[in-house]
């Protein structure tokens, strides 16, 4: 699709508001929502050329939709990618990537700290089809290197991770992948292109859950992959069209509008998360706070350099406790005492959301996998939203101050 808003001429903040397909003949200022499954063809001849891929034009929404195109163009512009492809959810973006690029006998290296469903998808579901994989410690570059085999096709990293906010060196992993003839894919959900653009650091594919910060208001599910036009058109698009895990135009429109405020949200929520992380570090009931913006974070310097000087909006804290049972009881007490903030799976919302990873996002992992990921029973994750700082602190203190 053509557009006068060239990604090369404008700043990211401008592209986040302006990048979209051309206006319709009605001149709508806010991007139109094209809720249609099919498209009337101007002639049988044109229809034939469109189906043959010889001419641009929409035919059927599983193959393309203008609202979905607008979302893809806007995200690609923000990530500095040649192209993007929207999917129904973040997980279906990962499914599409693995399904399009791997075959039986290929090998993937990924971190043990990745999103729980990602670990299950690669380690269990793809294993059924003969795809081999090795999990490594997120921040141990030597372990990533040692895991590479002649049949390694993809290194897959997520940074920062959920919920411990571990950060890995994207540029170093990109070099490592390319030296081995493999690709580096990066899950950029937590940082978003506002903080970090993995393609500019050498990554080959960026994956998003649009459900998170791109929507930003916790309304719809969405996902996307960003890559070179060649990879999108030759490898990913044919599988998406046949596999059908496409993004609904309605959800695309919601996320498209959400992205208009991505920059101001990420900057405000990161600032608020940093202040809360520093405050939590001072609380006597808290053993440890995990947040890349803290100087106590093991990869603080790398994070600040890789993430535009911001730490993102997700932090976690571990409560002081004796046994795992005691730790779980304490975490549940803090969560059950909340009156303003939400006990809610999800993140990337304007509303602050807290979770207990050990019994939710990481609940389906085996005890060994959970131990390896470092997710204790006393860990609480906080995805910081836009409420007033004092109200967030007061709500946390309700539980912290009454711990027995
Ligand atoms: C939520 C999330 C996903 C999965 O996205 P869905 O939209 O829920 O399918 C993948 N990776 C990370 C880091 C996430 O936070």
Can you spell out the DSSP letters for 220-245?
---EEEEE-HHIIIIIIHHHHHHH--
Q: How is the chain split into domains, by residue range?
A: 12-261, 262-400
The residue whose two tokens read 């050329």 is 49
Architecture field, domain 12-261 = 3-Layer(aba) Sandwich (3.40)
User: d(Cα 81, Cα 3) in Å, to the nearest integer?
Assistant: 15
Question: Measuring from atom 4 of ligand 1, which residue has the nearest CA?
Answer: 90
Question: Measuring from atom 15 of ligand 1, which residue has the nearest CA?
Answer: 189
Among residues 126, 77, 98, 82, the alpha carbon closest in space to that of 183 is found at 98
Asked whether the bond before 2 is cis by omega within 30 degrees of 0, the reply is: no
Q: Is the Cβ atom of 158 under 6 angstroms away from ligand 1?
A: yes
Span from the CA of 162 to the centroid of ligand 1 (angstroms): 10
Burial of 9 (C-beta count, 10 Å sphere; 0-12/13-18/19+): exposed
> Does the fold of domain 262-400 match that of domain 12-261?
no
Do residues 163 and 290 touch, judged by C-beta distance below 8 A?
A: yes
Q: Is the Cβ atom of 168 under 6 angstroms away from ligand 1?
A: no
Do residues 293 and 266 touch, judged by C-beta distance below 8 A?
A: no
- Element counts in the chain: helices (H) and strands (E): 16, 12
Span from the CA of 102 to the centroid of ligand 1 (angstroms): 21
Q: Is the Cβ atom of 90 under 6 angstroms away from ligand 1?
A: yes
Give me 199's structure tokens.
Answer: 């393609």
Among residues 391, 317, 321, 322, the alpha carbon closest in space to that of 352 is found at 391
Q: Is the Cβ atom of 91 under 6 angstroms away from ligand 1?
A: yes
Residue 365 C-beta-side C-alpha neighbours within 13 Å: 25
Q: Is the Cβ atom of 192 under 6 angstroms away from ligand 1?
A: no
Q: Is the Cβ atom of 162 under 6 angstroms away from ligand 1?
A: yes
Name the region of 202 (left: φ>0; alpha: ψ -120 to 50; beta: rest): left
Q: pTM of this prediction?
A: 0.95
Query: Which residues of the chain fall short of a pLDDT of 50?
Result: 1-2
Name the region of 134 (left: φ>0; alpha: ψ -120 to 50; beta: rest): beta
The residue whose two tokens read 């641009």 is 56
For 134-166, write each residue's pLDDT tens digit. 999 999 999 999 999 999 999 999 999 999 999
Which pLDDT value is given to residue 364? 75
Which pLDDT value is given to residue 2? 41
Give me 223's structure tokens.
Answer: 């996902």
Span from the CA of 100 to the centroid of ligand 1 (angstroms): 19
CATH code at 262-400 = 3.90.1150.10
The residue whose two tokens read 């411990």 is 164
Span from the CA of 209 to the centroid of ligand 1 (angstroms): 5
Burial of 278 (C-beta count, 10 Å sphere; 0-12/13-18/19+): middle
Which pLDDT value is given to residue 366? 75
């Amino acid at each position: 699709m053509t557009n006068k808003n060239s990604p090369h001429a404008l700043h990211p903040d401008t592209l986040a508001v302006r990048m979209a397909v051309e206006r319709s003949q009605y001149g709508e200022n806010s991007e139109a929502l094209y809720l249609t499954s099919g498209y009337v063809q101007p002639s049988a001849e044109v229809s034939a050329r469109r189906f043959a891929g010889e001419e641009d034009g929409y035919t059927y929404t599983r193959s393309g939709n203008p609202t979905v195109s607008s979302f893809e163009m806007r995200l690609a512009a923000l990530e500095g990618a040649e192209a993007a492809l929207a999917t129904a959810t973040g997980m279906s973006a990962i499914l599409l990537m693995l399904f399009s690029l791997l075959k039986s006998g290929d090998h993937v290296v990924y971190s043990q700290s990745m999103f729980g469903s990602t670990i299950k998808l690669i380690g269990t579901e793809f294993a059924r089809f003969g795809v081999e994989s090795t999990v490594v410690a997120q921040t141990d570059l030597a372990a990533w290197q040692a895991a590479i085999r002649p049949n390694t096709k993809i290194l897959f990293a997520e940074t920062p991770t959920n919920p411990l906010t571990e950060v890995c060196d994207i540029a170093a992993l990109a070099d490592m992948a390319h030296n081995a003839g493999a690709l580096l894919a990066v899950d950029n959900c937590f940082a978003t292109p506002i903080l970090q653009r993995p393609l500019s650091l050498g990554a080959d594919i960026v994956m998003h859950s649009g459900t998170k910060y791109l929507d930003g208001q916790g309304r719809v599910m969405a996902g996307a992959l960003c890559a070179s036009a060649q990879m999108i058109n030759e490898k990913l698009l044919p599988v998406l069209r046949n596999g059908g895990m496409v993004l609904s135009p309605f959800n695309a429109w919601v996320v498209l509008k959400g992205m208009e405020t991505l920059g101001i949200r990420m900057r405000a929520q990161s600032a608020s998360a940093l202040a809360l992380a520093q405050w939590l570090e001072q609380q006597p009931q808290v053993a440890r706070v995990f947040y890349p913006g803290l100087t106590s974070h093991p990869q603080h310097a790398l994070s600040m350099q890789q993430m535009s000087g911001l730490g993102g909006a997700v932090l976690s804290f571990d409560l002081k406790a004796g046994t795992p049972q005691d730790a779980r009881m304490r975490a549940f007490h803090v969560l059950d005492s909340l009156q303003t903030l939400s006990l809610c799976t999800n993140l990337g919302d304007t509303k602050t959301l807290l979770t207990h990873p050990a019994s939710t996002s990481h609940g389906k992992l085996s005890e060994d996998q959970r131990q390896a990921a470092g997710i204790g029973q006393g860990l609480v994750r906080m995805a910081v939203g836009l409420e007033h700082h004092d109200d967030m602190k007061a709500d946390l203190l309700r539980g912290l101050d009454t711990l027995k």
